[in-house]
Chains A and B, each alone.
Chain A
Amino acid sequence: MPAANRRSLWELIAAAGLPASRVLSDPHRRFALRDLRNGSTLDIAAGGLRGRVVLLHARQQMAAALAMAELDGVAARLILAPPDLPRSQLADAVAKAGVEVVLSDDAEAPPPVLGDARAGRCGQPIHNAQDSQPRDRDTEWLLFTSGTTGRPKLVVHDLQSLIGPSQSTLGATPAAVWSTFYDIRRYGGLQIMLRAFLGGGSMVFSDPAEGPAAFLARAGGQSVTHISGTPSHWRRALMTPTICDIAPDYVRLSGELADQAILNQLGHVFPKARITHAFASTEAGVAFDVQDGLAGFPASLLDEAGAGDVALRVRDGSLRIRSSRTASRYLGAGQPVLRDENGYVDTGDMLTLRDDRYHFVGRKGGIINVGGNKVYPEEVEEVINRHPDVRMSLVRGRSNPITGALVVADVVARSSQQGTDASADPLRREILQACRLALPPHKVPAVLRLVSSLDVAPSGKLSRLRA
């Protein structure tokens, strides 16, 4: 990106307007963005952070968000550490990225350190910033991949690739109050925060300590208008009575396959909301939004290559994306190549074409091999989730001496359906019957258990442990 076009995150925030009503909030406090105009929440002056490689290791999302606003254009690199990142991987990343300063907000616990890196604090009470620095550097933004199926990798973005040329399909939304189930250190959450920052809106942060019911009640209290999460986040929210506390105009799903069942259920609970599912990943960026309320995406999107700045292609069944929003590379030596020779990023998401629409069937690495026949867990979950009494499901492989593996399913029923084994039996039969009608025999779960809950990883995605 030519430096002349570059505007820092703070400049973009300010350009969208700084009325007193523009606030960031979490369970503990509210912060008016305008207070950052001549102030700082860091205990190291900007001059000391100029050109530095800075790791943001904050417990509170708000502390991290404010540091991002302060340091884009100043620091050489910003590394966003999700709070749940294991210590060993943190140390690994620190070495790989050449971290010089670690900013944390936890006064009780010293920053986890970390070589020769200097420790500093973010999330401090706002104080006057004396030495205002030019915000003219092309700061690199480093994010961790969600690591659903392996060790998280660091990917390299910059503000341009995170924002995209058209900023967003939503444009300016100054009255919007944004929120997300995601942590903003993850790509999906960061996107929402950036939309709030660039569109002139406010932002309500989630908090891992409060749980979905309290979060939704608080979001309702702040009159959230735009809210996002993974399908797993939303399935959990639908099991929460306080879901009725929010009345959003815009509901967004990303990060996992959005099946028709979850789209319909959200449409039912929020009849006035625009329900959008987006294809986005940390590596590939936001590729497209689907707004017609249907699962999958129209095949015509593939033909529109060159229109706009996103080109899509399907190779060996998996979706590849080329756009200005993809990350540039994985950090470190010995990492896989992120973009192919034509600039496409392989998402590893497998597609199937049905009625002029591409549907996601699962992850490339997630295949269950039943006697030589391939099964994607997600395609079976999609059928199970269509049953009106099913909240969510997890399909996995179970090793078998005859066929190598079999498909087995764990299913969470709506609360009214949980109970004795006897009352659960008809439900199990109905689900299996639906699977037999919709799927070939090897894809029908050989064993189906009703469980009370399923594990959702900190990334907001269903935990898919290897069988």
Chain B
Amino acid sequence: MMQIGTASAKAPLVSTTRFVILNSLERIALQQSKRLQPLHDDLPLLDTGLDSLCIAILVAVLDDELGIDPFSSGDEVAFPVTVGDFIALYEHAGR
């Protein structure tokens, strides 16, 4: 997968995280036969067309691909409401 191995520079990490999340999200929707709405940062997660099982799978896949699980990091995590919140949570945790 592009750039993950070389994402030591600051700016590309952010965009890579976003890329991986959106990419995984689309793949999971396809696998689970869910119709994905056009994604934008303000779209509520549960309006994307993904159910909670899909989001659970997304969290597991991101844990494997990015090595990040912001929900289990031990910090109190406010549950992300929108797609933008979700991405920000990972970008934040990855720094």
The residues of A with any CB-CB pair to B shorter than 8 Å are 370-371, 398-403, 406, 408, 432, 436, 441-442, 446-447
Contacts and interface: CB of A to CB of B under 8 A. Distances in A.
Interface in B50-86: 52-53, 55-57, 59-61, 64, 69, 71-72
Interface of B: 31-32, 52-53, 55-57, 59-61, 64, 69, 71-72
11 contacts: A371-B52, A401-B56, A401-B71, A402-B71, A403-B53, A436-B31, A441-B32, A446-B56, A447-B60, A447-B61, A447-B64
Contacts of B55: 402
Contact of A403 (B32, B52, B72): B52
Nearest to A373: B53
A441 B56 CA distance: 12
Contacts of B56: 370-371, 400-403, 406, 446
A400 B52 contact: no
* Top-10 shortest CB links A-B: A401-B71, A402-B56, A403-B56, A446-B57, A400-B56, A446-B60, A402-B55, A406-B60, A442-B53, A406-B56
Nearest to A445: B57
A398 B55 CA distance: 14
Contacts of A401: 56, 59, 69, 71-72
Given A401-B59, A406-B56, A446-B61, 7 more contacts: A371-B52, A371-B53, A398-B60, A400-B59, A401-B72, A402-B59, A447-B61
A436 to B, nearest CB: 8
Contacts of B53: 370-371, 403, 441-442
Contacts, number: 39
A306 to B, nearest CB: 45
B60 A400 contact: yes
Contacts of B32: 441
A466 to B, nearest CB: 17
A406 B72 CA distance: 15
A362 to B, nearest CB: 20
Contacts of A370: 53, 56
B61 to A, nearest CB: 7
Contact of A406 (B31, B57, B69, B71): B57
**Most chain A C-beta atoms within 10 Å of own C-beta, residue among B53, B55, B69, B72:** B53
Contacts of A446: 56-57, 60-61
B85 to A, nearest CB: 14
A370 B53 CA distance: 8
Contacts of B60: 398, 400, 406, 408, 446-447
A399 B56 CA distance: 10
A447 to B, nearest CB: 6
B21 to A, nearest CB: 15
Contacts of B64: 447
